A and B are shown apart, each in its own frame.
Chain A
Amino acid sequence: MDGEKGFKSIVMSGSRHIIFILLLFAALLGLGLTLFMSVSYGAKDLTMGTVWSAVMHYDAELTAHQIVHEIRLPRVLGAAITGMAFAVAGAIMQGVTRNPMADTGILGINAGSTFMVALCFAFLPNLSYSALMAISFAGAAMTTVFIVLLGSLTPGGLNSIRLTIAGAVVAAILQSLSTGIAIYFALSQDLAFWYAGGVAGVTWSHLKLLVPIILIATIWACMMGRSISFLSLGDESATNLGVRASRVRFLGMTAAVVLAGASVSVAGSIGFVGLIVPHIARRLVGADYRKIIMLSAILGSILLVWADFAARMVNPPREFAIGAMVAMVGVPFFLYLARKERSDL
């Protein structure tokens, strides 16, 4: 795509404005319905009345109310907010790296947090959950900084391919070292449990921390949307349009790390949301990253809430892993996209 045309398609989207607003509205409606469904149904059969009185006037004495208030609500909201975070982080990454296959995984977030947690399990076994979470976040952030620094310090500078491969390899090294530590100190499965994705353990206290961080970062990302759109046309075009490419890239990645790192530390690694959702959003609204990010946020929530809903409703009261649900939809869909969007690659 050449810069001139892309620029036009971003700026001269006036007629598409109404369509976008309608789309956003429909997505919000969909999210509302999904949340409603997800809170209403679960392993335990509850009447609609009970569910809603539990949401509206919570009575801490009733078991049914407790189920809704202490288990379903935090879980559903947790899925919604982490889905939003992964999707927005993915959208940002795809924009700033100009790589439609980018995901937060290439920033080493999962690998970094796993590595730090492995170290903690091995050497500081008495840490509390909240301390582990903080350390996992720190590990994610440090790894990303390392990968980006590495990518930018090399001759030729930070480009998409180099970032992707540096990310993949640093992630592989850390993964391998984590496994080594885990095997040597006999804590493989403890670590795997930490690493595996799931929102069943999300509590209100997690949400109190997560929601503001993720909402602020998402809004920030939307505000950067315009610059990211320009950046996605290529560094030169962006510079011509008055955008400082490296600055936008840095800020965008920071937002992505905050979003994904916070989510991973609470819900573990849930792949593919960050990869697929921005693709869907791009198909629906075009190349404008303001719109892509906004729509991704909502669609990401919907996807993950559905995935969690499926995970617990396939064979209740048994639960399946949420990541399996996402991957089952994600892998085929992704392959379809990879075939379809040949011109992008």
Chain B
Amino acid sequence: MMKKWCGTLAIILCIGILSACGGQASEAVNTSASSSSAQETGDSGKAGEKDSVTQVDPNAKIASMSIHMTNNLLALGIKPAGSAIGGGVGDFLPHVAHLLEGSAKLGVVGDSDMEAVLGLKPDYIFIDEHFGGEERSKLEKIAPVVSTNLDEGTWRDHLKRVAAVVGRDKEAEAFIKEYEEKADRVSKLIASELGEGATAMAIRVSAKEIRVQSAGRPVGPIMFQDLKLKPANGVEKISASEPYAVISKEVLPDFDADAIFLIVNNDDNAKKVYAELENNPLWKNLKAVKNNHVYTLDGQKWLDYSSLGQSMAMDDAEQLFTK
């Protein structure tokens, strides 16, 4: 009797689940395609493949659903009418907030406030497949969608792709050119300060551990390609596909870096981090510390892998090394 009961129950539930899944299978096809393309860096699911528009008037009302996208638009001199906010800070990122005054907040990246988007009545919606691929079908009901993919290429590619859509290729070229010139200038400054072929590492410190940043996104490219620093001994062992690894303090001297870039999120943290580190004799004895080559970075800019963020990071570097 009981077994029969259980069996019937199981069957009913299975049917329920199956029908639920079946009911949305048609929807799932789009979304799964977009989400998987976000994961693969290969040539499947190229950015913009599913976009219905290829040309957008730069003066149109644009809603940007990704922080990177917002910053790319800002770099091209376009202020989106509304933008997603950072999940960590719960607001526009501090380093670009002044550029977004008056723009609407459209909810946290990847968890958009659909009503806010709808209320904005945008002409176009710009998304990044890496964060917002899942929401594409919903957003398409509001306005045509334009997309980039953070996992494809560098920020230069993303910027050019956006520029092509809004017809501001020249601005993008100019922006990149200006960046390269700045990078050239700063790398010379660095070379004169640290010597040719100096090695460097970027670390983040919390109360209980030390993270060493990898040579990959977000800080690897700017440090080791644009600024022509050499990765310190051991940085290359951290897989570039992860942003950082937690490393034992004991091996800090082994990295033997000529310069240390210290990433901190805000001023209060910076003070605490410094206070803790300065008390540690091992830290004091590091080559970079002894030679006074520790640079505290404005983390928001350096960790922001977008055209505007990287350019601001470059300005930050210029300031640090002209002193």
Contact = CB atoms under 8 A, between A and B. Distances in A.
A/B: CB atoms within 8 Å of each other? yes
Interface of A: 42-44, 60, 63, 66-67, 70-72, 125-126, 128-129, 183-186, 188-190, 193-194, 196, 198, 200-201, 203, 205, 268, 312, 316-320
A319 B246 contact: yes
Query: Secondary structure at chain B's binding surface: helix, strand, loop or mixed?
Result: mixed
Contact of A66 (B88, B90, B207, B285): B285
B250 A126 contact: no
Contact of A44 (B246, B250, B285): B250
Interface string B221-254: 0000000000000100000000001111111011
A129 B276 contact: yes
B275 A319 contact: no
A201 B273 CA distance: 12
Contacts of A193: 206-208
B91 A186 contact: yes
B27 interface: no
B207 A319 contact: no
B281 A70 contact: yes
Contacts of B250: 42-44, 67, 71-72, 317
B49 interface: no
Nearest to A194: B207
Given A66-B281, A193-B208, A201-B208, A319 B248 contact: yes
B253 A67 contact: yes
Contacts of B285: 63, 66
Interface residues of B, number: 29
Interface string B80-100: 000000001111000000000
Contacts of B246: 318-320
Nearest to A62: B285
Interface in B145-169: none
Contacts of A190: 269
Given A71-B249, A129-B207, A129-B275, A44 B281 contact: no
A125 B272 CA distance: 11
13 contacts: A67-B282, A71-B282, A128-B275, A186-B90, A188-B88, A193-B208, A200-B208, A200-B209, A203-B279, A268-B208, A312-B248, A317-B234, A319-B246
A128 B282 contact: no
Contact of B245 (A44, A268, A318): A318
A188 to B, nearest CB: 8
A263 B251 CA distance: 26
Given A42-B248, A42-B250, A201-B209, A125 B282 contact: no
B280 interface: yes
Contacts of A268: 208
Contacts of A129: 207, 272, 275-276
A326 B247 CA distance: 20
Nearest to A75: B249
Interface in B79-132: 88-91
Interface string B267-293: 011001001100111100100000000
Contacts of B245: 318
Nearest to B212: A317
Nearest to A202: B208
A200 B276 contact: no
A70 to B, nearest CB: 5
Contacts of A183: 90
Contacts of A319: 209, 246-248
B209 A318 contact: no
A72 B91 CA distance: 41
A198 B254 contact: no
A44 B251 CA distance: 6
A124 to B, nearest CB: 10
Nearest to B245: A318
A318 B245 CA distance: 7
A196 to B, nearest CB: 7
Contacts of A312: 248
B208 A317 contact: no
B285 to A, nearest CB: 6
A126 B88 CA distance: 20
